[in-house]
Amino acid sequence: MSRRRQISASDAPFRVVSHTVLAIWSVVVITPLAWTLLSSFKTTREIFASPFSLPSNWSFENYRSAWSREGFGNYFLNTVVIVGSALIIVMTLGSMCAYVLARFRFPGSRAIYYLMLAGLTFPVFLAIVPLFLLMRDFHLLNKQPGLVIVYVAFALPFTVFFLYPFFKRLPDEIAEAAAVDGASEWRTFFQVMLPMARPGMVSVAIFNFLGLWNQFLLPIALNTDQDNYVLSQGMSRFASQAGYAVDFGSLFAAVMITVVPVLVMYIVFQRQLRGSVAQGTLK
Amino acid sequence: MTAPVLTEVPGGRRKAAVRDGRPGRKLTFDYVSFMLVFLVVPLALFLVFVIWPFGQAVYYALTDWSGFSADYNIIGLENFAKLWDDKLFKKAVQNNILLAIIIPIVTITISLTFATMMTIGGSRHGQLRGIRNSSFYRVVSFFPYVIPAIVIGLIWSQIYGPASGLLNGTLTRAGFQGFENFAWLGEQKTARWAVMFVIIWGFVGFYMVLFIAAIKGVPAEIYEAARIDGAGRLRMSTAVTIPMIRDAIQTAYIYLGILALDAFVYMQALAPSGGPDNSTLTISQKLFRTAFTDGKFGYASAMGVVLAVVTLVFAAVVFTVNWITGGKPDRKRQ
């Protein structure tokens, strides 16, 4: 049996197995979400009656209630502003820092790298009360810029750690060519190295966006003014406030309000992600 | 490695010296301003808002501070001695270690398998590609990651619900006996695995996307060369993919382990009281309760220090294993 035939023969079974496994996983992922969507149209009584029943009345009453009465419209806007600002700042600072650490050798560069790793490793709520006091001393407590700064600081190690291998893998020759041609360090970074690290940047930006959007512990501790609440806080307040008489219909609607925009943004954005990844490989 | 190339270029030696930071580098405005903005600004932010509070927490671990009162006493290592005799805390440490072993292995195995199917699993003829429609699977698998952890916990606690939960409803309809009122999160033999499944469910897609990006970063020529040499899919995965994306796997392993050692939000949503016979109690939950319910912030800080030490040991083990099995973190620079 020739090697070629042997290899071809393995194509079909492998394809069937792959599709089966991935399809099963897709069902496992989608079912809970579809169920949440369905439940967001049901009354609490209907939700507890049966997990499969359809809502007797398809109305957006749960959504209206979540958006205005429960304040999710306001929380939504706050989240967009805070996460948007933090994301821009952390991507700029993080890529700069990762670039320096990955491509320059100076005393202490390894130490800084491991300090970043340590920052990534330490459990956040070990720091939460000292951080609370620090923010109070800086008069940044319960203020949106304060939360932005903390988001940036805590997302920074993740950003540096994930971008580091991307910058490290870039060929030295191109940076050296730029240097020989007289480009400044600034220009070399922004016009030569940063565009080349774009696949990494896009992935890390997506992960950071989602991580910050879903941030829970930091806003709970540092952003207690209800006017400044972000979505995850609204969610937890919503759930705890309702207590034993939880209005699960509105809660599921609030979940959809939180989840759908990010889901849509991800679906739109992932095309660009794929494009930039392909571009990076073709180069 | 690059220096010999550069010495052939006029003026190249000096540039190489700048990059290596050896003595003789010129402190031009460009270089100094570059370092100031690129390194000092992010580092300062990081030190003030991340490292400094951690340091303070370590100091508080040596006190009997209640959290918000004005005065407290320094009691040395007494908190740690107390922890050593705390059976519940030890139980929590054991639970966390189990989580940190199982969750990363399972998540990385699944996500790397999926990523391989989607990138190099396609036809073995023509251009290297994944199976068809792989972008559909990729997009769908990633969905859980965009959902806040507190919401994931909430959804799954409903799914696992004994009476009106989706899981028992489905199993009963499918004809299985004994699931009409089975409390997945209330039985000691299932609670731990049910919780682990939720966390794995949430992260497979995330790491799959990361691995896909990493695999696509590997030059296609290497896979083509392996294919010409007759390597099968399994051989390409073990001999090309895993060594080439070693850094990404190491990073994923560390990040998942840290997540498993924390696991706070998931546990709070799924089993706030620690689960049956404390089988899902985590250090973070015990810490949170000690600090904010019992008002013993010094003691809670000591738990935080232990958690941090466990986490660092975990990261060190991952680094060491990676190094022993042949990864050379500095291969490019040396």
A-chain CB neighbours of B54 within 8 Å are 119, 122, 126-127, 130
Q: What is the DSSP string of chain A?
A: --HHHHHHHTHHHHHHHHHHHHHHHHHHHHHHHHHHHHHTTS-HHHHHH-SSPPPSS--SHHHHIIIIIT-HHHHHHHHHHHHHHHHHHHHHHHHHHHHHHHH---TTHHHHHHHHHHHHHS-GGGSHHHHHHHHHHTT-TT-HHHHHHHHHHHHHHHHHHHHHHHHHHS-HHHHHHHHHTT--HHHIIIIIIHHHTHHHHHHHHHHHHHHHHT--HHHHHH---GGG--HHHHHHHHHHHHTTS--HHHHHHHHHHHHHHHHHHHHHHHHHHHHHHHHHHH-
Tell me the nearest-neighbour CA distance from B94 into chain A, angstroms.
17
Reported as a pLDDT band with limits 50, 70 and 90, residue A4 is very low
User: How many Cβ atoms are within 10 Å of B272's Cβ, its own excluded?
Assistant: 12
Instruction: Kindly report the CATH number assigned to the domain that includes residue A167.
Output: 1.10.3720.10
Least confident of A54-58, A87-91, B68-72, B138-142: B68-72
Report d(CA A178, CA A194) in Å as an integer.
Answer: 13
Structural domain includes residue A55? no
Per the CB < 8 A criterion, the answer to whether B165 and A52 are in contact is no
Specify burial of residue B41 (Cβ count, 10 A radius: 0-12, 13-18, 19+): middle
Are A184 and B34 within 8 A, CB to CB? yes
Going by the DSSP 8-state scheme, the letter that residue A122 receives in this structure is: S
Report d(CA A66, CA A68) in Å as an integer.
Answer: 6
**Quick one: what percent of chain A has pLDDT higher than 70?**
88
Asked whether residue A81 falls in the same domain as residue A32, the answer is no
User: Chain A to chain B, count of Cβ pairs less than 8 Å apart?
Assistant: 298
Confidence (pLDDT) at B271: 80
Asked whether residue A253 falls in the same domain as residue A139, the answer is yes
- CB-CB: which of B50, B134, B265 is closest to A216? B265
- CB-CB: which of A32, A96, A162 is closest to B251? A162
Q: What are phi and psi of B74, to 5 degrees?
A: -85, 120
Domain range for A30 is 3-39
Asked whether residue A77 falls in the same domain as residue A181, the answer is yes
pLDDT beyond 60 at B9: no
Tell me the nearest-neighbour CA distance from A223 into chain B, angstroms.
15
Q: How many domains does chain A have?
A: 2
Asked whether residue A32 falls in the same domain as residue A79, the answer is no
Tell me the nearest-neighbour CA distance from A226 into chain B, angstroms.
19
Confidence (pLDDT) at A278: 40
pLDDT beyond 70 at B12: no
Are B139 and A7 within 8 A, CB to CB? no
| Residue A283 identity | K
Dmax of chain A from CA atoms?
A: 77
- CB-CB: which of B45, B57, B213 is closest to A153? B45
- From the candidates B54, B246, B288, which should be mutated to test the interface with A, based on the most A CB atoms within 10 A? B54
Are A93 and B150 within 8 A, CB to CB? no
- Extract the tokens encoding B308: 């941090």
Reported as a pLDDT band with limits 50, 70 and 90, residue A88 is very high
- Select the more confidently predicted residue: A156 or B270: A156
Least confident of A259-273, B87-101, B251-265, B298-312: A259-273
pLDDT beyond 60 at B330: no
pLDDT beyond 60 at B320: yes
Structural domain includes residue A53? no
CA A52 from centroid of its chain's CA atoms: 31
Confidence (pLDDT) at B46: 94
Picking from B212, B24, B249, the residue whose alpha carbon sits closest to that of residue B117 is B212
Structural domain includes residue A268? yes
| B238-262 confidence digits (pLDDT tens) | 888 888 888 889 888 988 998 899 8
Least confident of B17-21, B44-48, B108-112: B17-21
Picking from B213, B221, B214, the residue whose alpha carbon sits closest to that of residue B246 is B214
Per the CB < 8 A criterion, the answer to whether A100 and B39 are in contact is yes
Tell me how many degrees the CA angle A76-A78-A79 measures, rounded to the nearest 5: 65
Asked whether residue A32 falls in the same domain as residue A140, the answer is no
| A107-150 confidence digits (pLDDT tens) | 888 899 888 887 877 778 678 778 877 888 899 988 999 999 99
Confidence (pLDDT) at A282: 33
Confidence (pLDDT) at B140: 87
Asked whether residue A66 falls in the same domain as residue A7, the answer is no
Where do the domains of chain B lie, and which CATH numbers do they carry?
1-53 (no CATH), 61-324 (1.10.3720.10)
What number is the average pLDDT over the span A199-207?
83
**Quick one: what percent of chain A has pLDDT higher than 90?**
23
Are B45 and A152 within 8 A, CB to CB? yes
Report d(CA A31, CA A36) in Å as an integer.
Answer: 9
Confidence (pLDDT) at A145: 94
Per the CB < 8 A criterion, the answer to whether B315 and B257 are in contact is yes
Q: Long-range contacts: B28-31, Cβ < 8 Å, 24+?
A: B30/A184, B30/A185, B30/A186, B31/A185
Are A51 and B166 within 8 A, CB to CB? yes
Structural domain includes residue A47? no
* ipTM of model over 0.90: no
Structural domain includes residue A86? yes
Confidence (pLDDT) at A281: 34
- Pick the most confident of A168-177, B19-28, B189-198: B189-198
B-chain CB neighbours of A231 within 8 Å are 148
- CB-CB: which of B53, B142, B255 is closest to A127? B53
- Extract the tokens encoding B137: 């699977």
pLDDT beyond 50 at A219: yes
- CB-CB: which of A51, A101, A180 is closest to B169? A51
Q: Find the helix or strand (DSSP H, E) in which A72 lies.
A: helix A72-103
The CA-atom distances, in angstroms, between A66 and each of A54, A61, A78, B294 are 20, 9, 16, 34
Are A189 and B16 within 8 A, CB to CB? no
Asked whether residue A102 falls in the same domain as residue A8, the answer is no
What number is the average pLDDT over the span B60-68?
80
Least confident of A105-119, B81-95, B188-202: A105-119
Residue length, chain B? 334
Are A130 and B56 within 8 A, CB to CB? yes
Asked whether residue A119 falls in the same domain as residue A217, the answer is yes
Structural domain includes residue A52? no
Mean per-residue pLDDT of chain A: 82
Reported as a pLDDT band with limits 50, 70 and 90, residue B14 is very low
Asked whether residue A165 falls in the same domain as residue A30, the answer is no
Going by the DSSP 8-state scheme, the letter that residue B263 receives in this structure is: -
- CB-CB: which of A104, A153, A162 is closest to B21? A104
Asked whether residue A67 falls in the same domain as residue A29, the answer is no
Task: Tell me, letter by letter, the H, E, C secondary structure of B8-75.
Answer: CCCCHHHHHHHHHCCCCCCCCHHHHHHHHHHHHHHHHHHHHHHHHHHHHHHHHCCECCCCCCCCCCEC
Confidence (pLDDT) at A202: 83
Least confident of A45-59, A74-88, B82-96, B99-113: A45-59
Place of tokens 């550069």: B6
User: How many Cβ atoms are within 10 Å of B74's Cβ, its own excluded?
Assistant: 12
Mean per-residue pLDDT of chain B: 81
Asked whether residue A106 falls in the same domain as residue A203, the answer is yes
Reported as a pLDDT band with limits 50, 70 and 90, residue A260 is confident
User: How many Cβ atoms are within 10 Å of A113's Cβ, its own excluded?
Assistant: 19
Confidence (pLDDT) at A85: 97
Tell me the nearest-neighbour CA distance from B313 into chain A, angstroms.
10
- From the candidates A95, A126, A202, A224, which should be mutated to test the interface with B, based on the most B CB atoms within 10 A? A126
- Pick the most confident of A42-51, B109-118, B177-186: B109-118
Least confident of A10-14, A99-103, A239-243, B161-165: A239-243
Structural domain includes residue A264? yes
B-chain CB neighbours of A3 within 8 Å are 230
Tell me the nearest-neighbour CA distance from B277 into chain A, angstroms.
24
| A47-70 confidence digits (pLDDT tens) | 777 778 888 888 888 898 888 887
Asked whether residue A210 falls in the same domain as residue A258, the answer is yes
Structural domain includes residue A179? yes
Tell me the nearest-neighbour CA distance from B177 into chain A, angstroms.
18
pLDDT beyond 90 at A168: no
| B263-302 confidence digits (pLDDT tens) | 888 887 788 778 888 888 998 888 878 876 787 878 888 8
